[in-house]
Amino acid sequence: MRYSKISGIGHHVPETIITNEYLSTIMDTNDAWITERTGIKERRWINPDKDTVANMAAKASRMALQRAGLTEKDVEFIVFATITSDYYFPGSGVLLQRELGLEGIGALDIKNACSGFIYALSIADQFIKSGMYKTILVVGAEIQSSALDVSDRGRNTAVIFGDGAGAVVLRPSDKPGILSTHLHADGRFAEELYVKDPGGSRPNKERQPEQILDTSGFKVHMNGNQVFKHAVVRFMEVINEALAANNMKKEDIDLLVPHQANLRISQYIQEKLSLRDDQVYNNIMRYGNTTAASIPIAMSEAWAEGKIKENDVICLAAFGSGFTWASALIRW
């Protein structure tokens, strides 16, 4: 039977570090408030003169390819997860293809927010298993800083988000690598965490004032209580679903890499699963919430630090806008 396996992983984050102390100079907030509620101490924001979603993704992809012993020319397909593509359309998948100097290969864009990378990984897994492709780049990348309202009005969300990119190379294997993936959604709660505009469902006369005349950035609406309440339930459900599908128990997890949304959520999951600190990887304190990029960035750092080793069982889990939630169980 044909399986798929991660053969290389990489990431890239912008150089500019934005600390909580800096944010306290431009809005009414402070380090203690941010740390207590989110666990975030700093995040990376782009330099608009040189960073794009696509070129950050290209840097992460080249690192992943190098670690896999491959080159750009080996890539046969791209699955790109982002909610902050460089253009309204086309998606950033084709821009990454251009950055890598490729021609003619397909590029698929995924817009599932914080669950986007696992959705993308699941899709790539099916393509490898079917025999359609042998080498697929799976990417999560976001630039969120350029759309944040960094005034007092937007502080509840502005302090959370960061920029960055992560990528993995998926290849065929005769042994199971991606053991299973599990994808879910519940659109009843779509408006609990969303950005309404630019949206195609309003007449131009309604959209123009918000999109053209208002320069304060996208308006992120987040019902934090609802998101937290649903996240802690769905995280546990989808992790247990992955374990059950593979006849495993929580004791079989060598490393849990959750989406980096809120340190309190990760700590709650860790407690419920009775995992040690060295069994859960968190880097939200350094990067904030990088949405679709958070899991591959965390995995890349964990691998580089020697915390992911051959034959380890790695569990990925995410919850976010949609609501969507997903998990993947991996044998490294």
Is 248 a domain residue? yes
Is 69 a domain residue? yes
Instruction: Mark which of 111, 144, 175 sits at the end of a domain.
Output: 175
Instruction: Mark which of 175, 202, 217 sits at the end of a domain.
Output: 175
* CA dist., res. 59 & res. 150, Å (int): 28
Is 121 a domain residue? yes
Q: Report the pLDDT value the prediction gives residue 212, as an integer from 0 to 100.
A: 44
pTM of the model: 0.94
Residue 315 bears catalytic tag:
no
Does residue 267 sit in the same domain as residue 124? no
Q: Report the pLDDT value the prediction gives residue 205, as an integer from 0 to 100.
A: 60
Does residue 118 sit in the same domain as residue 229? no
- Which tens digits make up the pLDDT trace of 75-107? 999 999 999 999 999 999 999 999 999 999 999
Residue 283 bears catalytic tag:
no
pLDDT band at 155 (very low <50, low <70, confident <90, very high): confident
> Exactly one of 259, 262, 282, 315 is catalytic; which is it?
259
The count of structural domains within the chain is: 2
Does residue 157 sit in the same domain as residue 203? no
> Exactly one of 114, 230, 262, 282 is catalytic; which is it?
114
Does residue 34 sit in the same domain as residue 133? yes
Does residue 9 sit in the same domain as residue 114? yes
Does residue 231 sit in the same domain as residue 101? no
Question: Tokens standing for 145?
Answer: 């800083």
Does residue 159 sit in the same domain as residue 66? yes
Does residue 246 sit in the same domain as residue 148? no
* CA dist., res. 41 & res. 35, Å (int): 6
Q: Is 281 helix (H, G, I), strand (E, B) or coil?
A: coil
Is 309 a domain residue? yes
Q: Domain of 185: which CATH number?
A: 3.40.47.10
pLDDT band at 213 (very low <50, low <70, confident <90, very high): very low
* CA dist., res. 115 & res. 137, Å (int): 17
* CA dist., res. 137 & res. 65, Å (int): 9
Does residue 198 sit in the same domain as residue 294? yes
- Which tens digits make up the pLDDT trace of 171-186? 999 999 999 999 999 9
Does residue 211 sit in the same domain as residue 168? no
Q: What is the mean pLDDT of residues 21-42?
A: 96
- Which tens digits make up the pLDDT trace of 240-295? 999 999 999 999 999 999 999 999 999 999 999 999 999 999 999 999 999 999 99
Where residue 291 falls (left for φ over 0; alpha for ψ -120 to 50; beta otherwise) is left
Is 80 a domain residue? yes
* CA dist., res. 332 & res. 330, Å (int): 6
Contact 12, 55 (CB under 8 A): no
* CA dist., res. 311 & res. 242, Å (int): 17
> Exactly one of 20, 55, 112, 289 is catalytic; which is it?
289
Identify the burial level of 113 via C-beta atoms within 10 angstroms of its C-beta, where 0-12 means exposed, 13-18 middle and 19 or more buried.
Answer: buried
Does residue 197 sit in the same domain as residue 94? no
Report whether pLDDT(209) > 90: no
Q: What is the mean pLDDT of residues 212-231?
A: 73
Q: Which domain holds residue 253?
A: 180-280+290-331
Instruction: Mark which of 146, 175, 204 sits at the end of a domain.
Output: 175
Is 285 a domain residue? no
Residue 289 bears catalytic tag:
yes
Single out the residue of 177, 196, 190 nearest to residue 230, CA to CA.
190
Does residue 166 sit in the same domain as residue 190? no
Residue 19 exposure: Cα atoms within 13 Å on the Cβ side: 5
